[in-house]
Each structure stands twice: as structure tokens, then as C-alpha cells.
Copies of this chain bind each other. A is one copy, B any other.
Amino acid sequence: MSSKTANPSARQTQLLEAAYEYVLAHGLADLSLRPLAEAIGSSTRVLMFLFGNKDGLVRALLERARADELALLARLRHADRPAGLAQAAEQVWAWLAADEHRPLLRLWVEAYARSLVEPDGPWAGFAGTTVDDWLDVLAACQPQPERDGEDGAARRTLVLAVLRGALLDLLATDDERRVTAAVHRQLALLRREDRGNA
């Protein structure tokens, strides 16, 4: 056996990339194999062969989307290593507010919502996993004395909530001025708090 999803072949990753761009444009809700295959110059037969069935394809697409998310998280952990929650939040928001990330973030919201409503299927656990991912990386940005304990958990939970709530607003209204102003206001509050604790 070769377990297609475990060690993907070149053709598989190539088609997955094309399918990924397709769902970024069309959404996952009413994804159908035949239109997708036709759009990316393939066939349902090939998709079935490479991904097993539709659920396998959707799972692969969600993992692909999550890879983009994890890339940002990894940058936050190492390369740009922000010191403190405020700095981390500022960098994350710059990424979230960038125009070129809108399709990905719309897809993210869609998968998040779906995994809340239907705990079964390929979506299973998407929402919970992504919350944990983000809380982990935010925790890594907190200084040591603050990180542990419920207070630190509440602080990073709050930062995550602000970023996600602002994202929802931005995706709906496209009013970047107002939403970014709100986020920056929160950043100011966070920094004031940091200075107070220092």
C-alpha cells in the first residue's frame, strides 16, 4: 500500500494546490467534484484515485489551509519572535488585515463554522484545533511569570478573541480603518497593562 494521504505524490500535491485555489475562490459549502475537476483540468476519476473519496479531498484541503495558518504561527514563534502579547497581536493583525489573505480567512471562517454545526465528517475538530494552536503560540509570547496560571490564560484568550472578532467584522464590512483603529486601541490597553505589571 502507499497511503496516498500520508506521503503524497507529486501529482497529488499539484492537483491539491489547484483545488485549493479553487475552493479559496468558490468556498467549501457546495463543493462538487465534477465542476472542480473540470476547473482544474482533471477528472473526478483522478480525484477519487488520489484522495479516496470526497471526504478525503476535503480533509486534504483543510490540512492545506491549516498549513498556511501554521506557517504564520511558526514565524511568530521563531523568526519574528515577538516579546509580549501586545507585539504578537500587532503582528498577527497586520497579517489578518492584509487584502491578499481575505480568501484564505473566509475559507477559515467557513470551516470553523461548519465544524461547530457538524461535529462529524472531514471538518471534525477544526474549530477546537485552531483555538489550541493559537493559544499555544500566544502563550509562547508571554513572559514566564505571567504565562502560567489562570490570569495568563485569560489574557491570551482575550487577545485571541479581539483578533478573531475584529476579523469577523473586517470580513463582513471591509472597513479596515474602523476595525484597525479598534485593534490598536486594544493594543494600547495591553501595553499599559504590561507596563503596570512590570
A116 B106 Cβ-Cβ under 8 A = yes
- Which of the residues B131, B158, B160, B179 comes within 8 Å of A186, measured between beta carbons? B158
Q: How far is the CA of A24 from the CA of B154 in the complex (A)?
A: 30
Say if the beta carbon of A98 comes within 8 Å of chain B.
no
- Rounded to whole angstroms, the CA-CA distance of A126 and B170 in the bound complex is 14
How far, in angstroms, from A3 to B160 measured CA to CA in the complex?
46
The contact of A165 among B28, B117, B164, by CB within 8 Å, is B164
Q: How many copies of this chain does the complex contain?
A: 2
Are A173 and B128 in contact (CB-based, < 8 A)? yes
**A169-B157 CB under 8 A given contacts A107-B117, A110-B113, A113-B113:** yes
Query: In the assembly, what is the distance between CA of A164 and CA of B154, in Å?
Result: 16
Docked Cα-Cα span, A128 to B118, in Å, equals: 24
Contacts of A112 in B (CB 8 A): 109, 113, 168, 172
By a CB distance below 8 angstroms, the chain B residues around A183 are 158, 161
Chain B residues within an 8 Å CB radius of A116: 106, 109-110, 171-172
Q: A189: which of B117, B130, B166, B189 is its contact (CB, 8 Å)?
A: B189
Q: Which residues of A contact B (CB under 8 A)?
A: 27-30, 106-107, 109-110, 112-118, 127-128, 130-131, 150, 153-155, 157-158, 160-166, 168-169, 171-173, 178-179, 181-183, 185-186, 189, 193
19 contacts between A and B (CB under 8 A): A29-B118, A30-B118, A106-B113, A110-B113, A112-B168, A128-B173, A131-B172, A154-B178, A154-B185, A157-B178, A158-B162, A158-B166, A158-B183, A160-B169, A161-B162, A163-B165, A164-B169, A165-B168, A189-B193
Extra contacts besides A109-B113, A161-B162, A161-B165 (20): CB < 8 Å: A29-B29, A106-B117, A127-B168, A127-B172, A128-B173, A131-B169, A131-B172, A150-B178, A154-B181, A157-B181, A158-B162, A158-B185, A158-B186, A160-B169, A161-B166, A161-B168, A161-B182, A163-B165, A164-B169, A165-B165
